[in-house]
Amino acid sequence: MTTRRNSAALLASAGILATGWSIGTAHGQTLTTTVPATSTTSGTTAGAASGITSGATTYTGTRQSDRWGSLQVTITVASGKITNVTYTTTAGDGKSLSIEARATPTLKSEVLAAQSAQVSTVSGATYTSTKYLTSLQSAIDQMG
């Protein structure tokens, strides 16, 4: 009796673990910066693709979690362009913030162009003093 009972309990538990495992591996995709043509939403949270409002679709990315809290990115896409990016984050103090994030994927052609005539100084990865001599910064410094 007891062995049958324990076997049943073991089987039930194994089934539950297997279900959890498969859900975990099925939802392992992270949000990519390119919007796929066929909309498949990925995410381990309760929200799937939601909010189809006036042609816009919302995609929820996987939640990045660690002991400092967790972070989840949601993007809204309309007509193939990313129109909104939202972060939902919980910090270690339990507060949850939803912030209109502002770092969006940008094509080089969309990046603000530099007007060399206006530039007074150049920021770049640290250069050695030798490399400085052939750098942009040195050219600007010479011109004064």
Q: How far is the CB of 88 from another protein (least distance, A)?
A: 7
> Does residue 24 bind another protein (CB under 8 A)?
yes
Beta bridge partners of 91: 69
Q: Does 77 bind another protein (CB under 8 A)?
A: no
In this chain, which of 3, 38, 79, 111 binds another protein, going by CB under 8 A? 111
Phi, psi of 9 (to 5 degrees): -65, -40
Closer CB to another protein, residue 40 or residue 118? 118
CA–chain centroid gap for 72, Å, is 7
How far separated are the first and last CA of the chain, in Å rounded? 92
Q: Does 112 bind another protein (CB under 8 A)?
A: yes
